[in-house]
Amino acid sequence: MRDLKKASQNITHYDYMDTPIGSLLLAGCKNYLRFVGFPQAPKGLEAHTPRQPLDTWQQDSEMFTQAKHELTEYFAGTRTKFTVPIKLTGSGFQCAVWQALQDVPYGETCSYGDIAHAINNPKSSRAVGGANNANPIPVIVPCHRIIGADKSMTGFGGGIPTKEFLLDLEGRAAGTRLI
């Protein structure tokens, strides 16, 4: 699961956004979006702790205007790339995986093995899965586009139904069927 304590050092503000997949927690600082979380536990995963802002963060409904606008367009099927400034903090390996995720085109999927090859570490499929799971900015950094080599739906922090929803949304907008 995404670790808020690691990301929180550079997060000062947060807000919520209602979307078709539920309320999203947006968090960051003056210059960057650093975290997108699912504050409600996904269906079937109620035992997991939902994402909540830390006590040191201040709620600010104005700070994430661009992110909210772009996410609204994405969920309407009219945005295929995000331009909101983001800042990813992680190990070198994680950052390489997260960059590779951003290179997976809208409306397409690939496997963990494909990402491992893309970062020139072909034996790291499992580690890619771990980095994918640690992605602090899901949807915008599209970890939902990564599926099993056998085309199966694999884990997603927002739950498999959310992953399927996002893939279906992108497939409809792109005129393809992703799953």
How far is Cα 45 from Cα 125, in angstroms, rounded to an integer?
Answer: 24
Kindly name the residue from 29, 95, 110, 143 that is annotated as catalytic: 143
Please indicate whether residue 95 is annotated as part of the active site. no
Look up tokens 């995000």; give the residue: 82
Closest CA to 34 of 25, 22, 43, 42: 25
Helix (H) and strand (E) counts for the chain? Answer: 6, 6
How far is Cα 2 from Cα 94, in angstroms, rounded to an integer?
Answer: 12
Residues annotated catalytic, as ranges: 143
